Structure 1
Amino acid sequence: MTSDSAIQEAEAAIARLATPPMIEDPYPLYSAIRRVNRVYESATLGAYAITGYKEVNAAARMANMKNGVRAATTQRADWQEHESLRLFLRALVNLDAPEHSAMREVASSVFTPNAIKQMRKSIEALAHRFVDDLAERAKSGEPVDLVPTVASPFPVSVICEMLGVPDNQGMLFYKLANDWTRVWGGGNYSDADLAQADTSVVELRGYFSELFEARRAERRDDLISALIDQHEAGRLDDEDLMALATFLFISGFETTTNLISTGIHTLLEFPDQLARWRGNPDITASAVEELLRHGTPISGTVRLTAEPIQLGGQEIPAGKMLFLMTAGANRDPEQFPDPDRLDLTRNDGGHVSFGGGAHYCLGANLARMEAQVILPLIINRFSTIEVAGTPEWRTAIGLHGFEHLPLVLSE
Structure 2
Amino acid sequence: MSDMSYDPWSPEFVGNPYPAFERLREEQPVFFHEPTEQWVISRYEDVDALLRDRRLGRSYLHVASHEEFGREPDAEFLRPFWDLVRAGMLDVEPPTHTRLRRLVSKAFTARMVEGLRPTIRRLAGELADGFAARGGGDLLAEIAEPLPVNVIAEMLGVPAEDRPLLRPWSADICGMYELNPPEETQRTAVRAAVEFSDYLRELSRSRRDAPRDDLISALARVADEGDRLTEDELIGTCVLLLNAGHEATVNATGNGWWSLFRNPAELERLRADPALLPTAVEELLRHDTPAPMFERWVLEDITVAGCAIPRGAEVALLFASANRDPAVFPDPNRLDLSRDPNPHITFGLGIHYCLGAPLARIELAESYSALMRAAPEMRLAAEPKWKPGFVLRGLEALYVEC
**TM superposition score normalised by structure 2:** 0.91
Amino acid at match of 1:291: L
Q: Distance in 1 between matches of 2:341 and 2:131?
A: 35
Relative to structure 1, the CA distance from residue 43 to residue 395 in structure 2 (aligned partners, 3 Å threshold; closer, same or farther) is closer
Relative to structure 1, the CA distance from residue 21 to residue 221 in structure 2 (aligned partners, 3 Å threshold; closer, same or farther) is farther
Shift of 1:48: 2.0
Name the structure 2 match of 1:398. Answer: 391
**TM superposition score normalised by structure 1:** 0.89
Once structures 1 and 2 are overlaid, which stretch shifts more, 17-26 or 204-213?
17-26
Name the structure 2 match of 1:263. Answer: 256
Name the structure 2 match of 1:345. Answer: 338
Q: Which one of the candidate residues 318, 339, 364 is aligned to 1:371? A: 364
Q: Which one of the candidate residues 20, 34, 51 is aligned to 1:29? A: 20
Matched, 1:330 2:323: yes
Relative to structure 1, the CA distance from residue 158 to residue 183 in structure 2 (aligned partners, 3 Å threshold; closer, same or farther) is same
Name the structure 2 match of 1:4. Answer: none
Query: Does the 8 A contact of 2:42 with 2:322 survive in 1?
Result: yes
Q: Which one of the candidate residues 131, 145, 149 is aligned to 1:156? A: 149
Q: Distance in 1 between matches of 2:232 and 2:37?
A: 34
Query: Does the 8 A contact of 1:212 with 1:228 survive in 2?
Result: yes
Q: Distance in 1 between matches of 2:368 and 2:60?
A: 32
Q: Distance in 2 between matches of 1:217 and 1:201?
A: 24
Consecutive unaligned residues of structure 1, counting only runs of 5 or more, are 1-6
Shift of 1:45: 4.9
Name the structure 1 match of 2:138. Answer: 145
Matched, 1:242 2:235: yes
Name the structure 2 match of 1:97. Answer: 94
Shift of 1:193: 0.9
Amino acid at match of 1:393: W
Once structures 1 and 2 are overlaid, which stretch shifts more, 294-303 or 304-313?
304-313
Q: Which one of the candidate residues 180, 186, 196 is aligned to 1:204? A: 196
Name the structure 2 match of 1:59. Answer: 50
1:20-53 Cα offsets, whole Å, 9 max, x none, are 8971111122122222232334456553211111
Q: Distance in 2 between matches of 1:34 and 1:70?
A: 31
Name the structure 1 match of 2:292. Answer: 299
Shift of 1:390: 3.9
Shift of 1:124: 0.8
Name the structure 2 match of 1:12. Answer: 4
Shift of 1:209: 1.6
> Percent sequence identity over matched residues?
32
Alignment of 1:42-57 (within 5 A): 42=33, 45-57=36-48
Query: Does the 8 A contact of 1:231 with 1:237 survive in 2?
Result: no
Q: Distance in 2 between matches of 1:47 and 1:135?
A: 45
Matched, 1:110 2:99: no
Query: Does the 8 A contact of 2:380 with 2:400 survive in 1?
Result: yes
Once structures 1 and 2 are overlaid, which stretch shifts more, 348-357 or 302-311?
302-311
Once structures 1 and 2 are overlaid, which stretch shifts more, 245-254 or 283-292?
245-254
Shift of 1:125: 0.8
Q: Distance in 1 between matches of 2:9 and 2:312?
A: 20
Amino acid at match of 2:25: R
Consecutive unaligned residues of structure 2, counting only runs of 5 or more, are none
Shift of 1:300: 1.2
Query: Does the 8 A contact of 1:155 with 1:256 survive in 2?
Result: yes
Name the structure 1 match of 2:118. Answer: 121
Q: Distance in 1 between matches of 2:26 and 2:305?
A: 14
Relative to structure 1, the CA distance from residue 44 to residue 191 in structure 2 (aligned partners, 3 Å threshold; closer, same or farther) is closer
Amino acid at match of 1:247: L
RMSD of aligned C-alpha atoms? 2.4
Matched, 1:215 2:207: yes
Q: Distance in 1 between matches of 2:375 and 2:147?
A: 18
1:279-306 Cα offsets, whole Å, 9 max, x none, are 1111111000000000111111111221
SS in 1 for 2:400: strand
SS in 2 for 1:384: coil
Shift of 1:19: 6.5
Amino acid at match of 2:367: I
SS in 2 for 1:393: coil
Amino acid at match of 2:230: D
Query: Does the 8 A contact of 1:22 with 1:395 survive in 2?
Result: no
Q: Distance in 2 between matches of 1:268 and 1:358?
A: 35
Query: Does the 8 A contact of 1:22 with 1:396 survive in 2?
Result: no
Query: Does the 8 A contact of 2:148 with 2:245 survive in 1?
Result: yes
SS in 2 for 1:324: strand
Q: Distance in 2 between matches of 1:297 and 1:22?
A: 15
SS in 1 for 2:344: coil
Name the structure 1 match of 2:266. Answer: 273
SS in 2 for 1:161: helix
Relative to structure 1, the CA distance from residue 324 to residue 188 in structure 2 (aligned partners, 3 Å threshold; closer, same or farther) is same
Alignment of 1:381-396 (within 5 A): 381-396=374-389
Relative to structure 1, the CA distance from residue 20 to residue 236 in structure 2 (aligned partners, 3 Å threshold; closer, same or farther) is farther
Amino acid at match of 2:26: R
SS in 1 for 2:140: helix
Query: Does the 8 A contact of 2:177 with 2:391 survive in 1?
Result: no
Amino acid at match of 2:82: L
Once structures 1 and 2 are overlaid, which stretch shifts more, 389-398 or 195-204?
389-398
